[in-house]
Amino acid sequence: MTDKLPIPSEADSQDEPLALPAFRHMGQFEEHDVVVIGSGPGASLAACLMAEAGREVLVLEEGDYWPLEAIEPFSSSEMRYKYRNGGITMALGRPTIQYVEGRCLGGGSEVNSGLHHRLPDETVWNWTARYGLEDFNPAELKSHSEAVERDLSVSLMPEGAIPEASLVLKNGAESLGWCCPEIPRYRRFGPNDSTGERQTMIKTYLPRAKAAGAGIVHGARAVRIKRPKNGGAYQLDIHINKPDYPKIRAEVLAKTVILGAGPVGSALLLRRSGLSAKSGKFLHLHPTVKLIAQFDRVINYPGLGVPVHQVKEFGSTMSFGCSISSPHYMSVSMASQPHGLEIVRDLWPHLIIYYATIVPEGYGSVTPIPGFKEPLVRFKLTKRDLAALSLAMKRLGRLLFAAGAKRLFPSVRGLDFFENPSDLDKIPSVLPAGKSELMTIHLTSTNPMAQTPELGVTDQWGALWGHKNLLISDASVLCSGPGVNPQGPLLTVARRNLTHYLGG
């Protein structure tokens, strides 16, 4: 893998399932029926459904286009080219929480592991009661979940293909009597194929959108949305930065705007455009603490990816799983340990990263900073949240020792490694805020749905309160962290909302 990777040209892409046209008249007004901002899961689904319903659609994506085969998954090159700011983004607070966002055509679907969950029933009923949502129940959502699962080939692993790192969780959980199911993924398997092909947005909804007539432009960043005048169209100010022509500005008119730039990006755009003073004030996420497990045997190898079992014994408020354990990610996770880099260098095949995550009671915010491209992201965990993370780490450690781990390295500075279950008593009852290394890949809820403007930013169908034909179609409309990987829930909710908008 070379350090500098070529960006596919438009000519090169003609044999790809996705051809990527530029604007017809750069720098001039163009009017479209529907403009979709972003190309992650919710945005790509919106583009697909709108185009297949006969609407004239334009998709604008800030990041670049990378075929799946162009960059090794979960590598440092992937972080550099497919993540926002190379993956160096964080929500400030005590403790600070590192988070990552995809910034490429297809968004987070191109960089995540594709684990699929339906929205838990307990979360559905909680949202219904707290936010006054109508026609929002497990039975009503089921058909939308099933449609997404067909579209994206949601599948379990073929028999005999599950990696040992995943079976460690399963076996440890079974020894404790805990529930630990295999989580299906967005992956298509052929006959005698144990690897399968990832079903990301550039393999699924975006090609369908293009086949139905949608235009797709990457390297185009929306910086402002201007209100319609006299019932006319929205005006979008766009910055273009593509390698085949210099950085320029363009203006686009849209009768309908569908905003799918992610919980941070969508909130930032709405706030900078003066369209919602409340957007960004309800940020939720799943904080995650890690234990790096060392085994006597070789258990890690290149191309391992993300194992597929998760412990669900404690409902949707706390769960355990296995993280990306490539050398690059392992080195970052061991940064809190003395001699961590040397340990990774010498023992990497014997090491696997496991995580524990919770649904916190704390909330955060996304705030624009005048003169800066990126916003200020903040999140405050409560004392009870830090206590819950401590309990989660202890439970995870108990499971890993039951599964045969020789040594556990915690992602808390000042805590030495653990060599037996009694060492877990060294974990404080409340994790120390100043020493805990927390991260998340699950950001949600900056534009939550609600029955009234007092309770949320969008109505119960994802339309921005006070504005006609401006929809949000990303994880920002989820009312809170769902307690599971949010890609499945956001696609289910987005399909529900878009179908309603189209009158179906």
- Measuring CA to CA, how many Å separate 149 from each of 2, 47, 199, 478? 36, 18, 11, 19
Handedness of CA 355, 358, 362, 364 (dihedral sign): positive
Alpha helices in 195-257 (DSSP H): 205-211
- Measuring CA to CA, how many Å separate 6 from each of 67, 70, 74, 289, 449? 11, 9, 18, 36, 41
Rounded-to-integer distance, Cα 273 and Cα 275, Å: 5
What DSSP string runs through 455-490?
T-SB-TTSBBTT-TTEEE-SGGGSSS--SS-THHHH
Write down the pTM of the prediction: 0.93
Provide Rg for the chain, Cα atoms. 22
Which structure tokens are listed for 251? 């203006």
Predicted confidence at residue 20, as pLDDT, reads 45
pLDDT digits (tens, 9 = 90+) for 404-416: 999 999 999 999 9
Predicted confidence at residue 193, as pLDDT, reads 85
Predicted confidence at residue 244, as pLDDT, reads 57
pLDDT digits (tens, 9 = 90+) for 292-329: 999 999 999 998 888 899 999 998 899 999 999 999 88
Report the SS3 class of residue 7: coil
Q: β-pairing, 245-259 with 29-37?
A: parallel
Rounded-to-integer distance, Cα 470 and Cα 255, Å: 9
- 442: annotated active-site residue: yes
Predicted confidence at residue 245, as pLDDT, reads 55
b/e burial code for range 54-83 (CB count within 10 A of at least 16 → b): ebebbbbbbbbbbbeebbebbbbbbbebbb
Q: Assign domain 158-187+287-440 one CATH number from 2.40.160, 1.10.150, 1.10.10, 3.30.410.
A: 3.30.410
Alpha helices in 33-120 (DSSP H): 41-52, 76-82
Q: Is the distance from CB of 486 to CB of 120 less than 8 angstroms?
A: no
Q: Is the distance from CB of 169 to CB of 354 less than 8 angstroms?
A: yes
Catalytic-labelled residue, pool 32, 328, 442, 467: 442
Question: Can you list the residues of the chain whose pLDDT is less than 50?
Answer: 1-17, 19-27
At the topology level, CATH places domain 13-65+104-152+199-280+443-501 in FAD/NAD(P)-binding domain (3.50.50)
Q: Is the distance from CB of 43 to CB of 473 less than 8 angstroms?
A: yes
Domain positions in the chain: 13-65+104-152+199-280+443-501, 158-187+287-440
Rounded-to-integer distance, Cα 256 and Cα 34, Å: 5
